[in-house]
Amino acid sequence: MESHSAPAFAELIEAVRKVATEVASAHAADVDAKARFPIETLAALREVGVLAAAVPRALGGPGCNVQELAQICSTLAQACGSSAMVLAMHYIQLACLARHGMHSAFFRGYLKDLVRRQDLLASMTSEVGTFGDTRSSICAVRRSDGRFQLDKDATTGSYCAHADAILVTCRRDEDAARSDQVLVLVRREDCTLTQTTSWDTMGMRGTCSPGFKLASSGREEQILPGAFADSSAQTMVPYSHILWASLWWGIAAGAVARAASFVRGQARQTPGSVPPTAARLAQLQVQLQAARQNWLGAARDFDAVAEDRDELMGMGWALRLNNLKIAASEATPQIVHGALQIVGILGYKNDSPFSLGRHYRDALSGSLMISNERIAAKNASMLLVYKDAA
């Protein structure tokens, strides 16, 4: 065990609260309006060591589990949904390295360096021609003399232009089937990126996620050991659905906080009486609390079985995580809609302190980000053979 001075979770979450209230909230509207990367927020997170939160303690990191990472993402999302999505996507990639790269000297070294450098990791799973199916690749990694070459035409690459490295899915080799994939760590210095599409979207504008053509080469040791089938089921899917659900909840909580502040303002204008909007706020809190319990419960249960890799490969977990993703992405816009009904026109206006446009638009991305229809279709197939559903 190595000695280190990584911050404990209590320190990290306190630092994230401060970044959320002092930095992210101050820039969220501008990030959204200009569809620009939240550079100030990411710089502030880097400064307090938050980007290394998922690095194991043995490698000098804080070693946060998924419950802790989810709390960090949900806290940041209350101020800026795009910043929280960037952080969540970074943690998902980091968790893949931390949970599947520990037997590789290269990846252990990379993770140690990440604690010091606070590198930002992006992801390229999407590809022109695979239609949103992350478990399928057309591009293949080519290996020779201890080196690799990899080119990919990705439809959506969040903050790839701002990342220090990208984890790229591809076929294991040129003869492999589309589902026989590996993950490759492509560092900025290993690649050229050519932007192919724009990112002028309704919401999540600060994630800066256009399409990119990637051309890369590097050392063979940058290919994550093992199959992506395993790292996907044991880490990428659980971390994605739990962290996304937590940050979508944070967006909803941010909207409800604006509604609550509006209701308190109304109450101050009519001392001694409870405004009718207060009852609607109370109902909204019920939905908000239920949504929180869903991701918290999944995170707690995941942490309890995190090292039981066989259990995580089972259909029970796949169904539970898929259900969480569908429920969270459906609940978030509904809760934001409820907040808008409470606030009324001041929530509808873009230039009011109670504005809910950004929350609403950001929330709508959830059901598309790996389409709920695609996930529901997978669940439907699994339920034909899975008998233990309670």
CB of 141 to ligand FAD, least distance (A): 16
CB of 254 to ligand FAD, least distance (A): 17
Judged by CB, which is closer to ligand FAD: 132, or 297? 132
Query: 335 near 327, Cβ under 8 Å?
Result: no
Rg from Cα positions in the chain: 21
Nearest of 123, 365, 88 to residue 243 by alpha carbon: 88
Judged by CB, which is closer to ligand FAD: 75, or 137? 137
CA distance 97 to 121: 10
CB of 185 to ligand FAD, least distance (A): 15
Judged by CB, which is closer to ligand FAD: 118, or 158? 158
Burial class (CB in 10 A: 0-12, 13-18, 19+), 74: buried
CA distance 102 to 105: 7
CA distance 173 to 185: 16
Q: Which residues bind ligand FAD (CB under 6 A)?
A: 89, 122-126, 131-132, 154, 156-158, 204, 207, 209, 365, 368-371, 373-374, 377
Judged by CB, which is closer to ligand FAD: 65, or 372? 372
CA distance 77 to 19: 11
Alpha helices in 208-275 (DSSP H): 228-231, 237-269
CB of 312 to ligand FAD, least distance (A): 21
CB of 280 to ligand FAD, least distance (A): 29
Query: 12 near 62, Cβ under 8 Å?
Result: yes
CB of 208 to ligand FAD, least distance (A): 9
Judged by CB, which is closer to ligand FAD: 91, or 354? 91
Taking CB atoms, the residue at the shortest distance from ligand FAD is 132
Judged by CB, which is closer to ligand FAD: 118, or 126? 126
Apex CA 348: angle with CA 342 and CA 351, to 5°?
Answer: 120
Q: Identify residue 344 by its one-letter amino acid code.
A: G
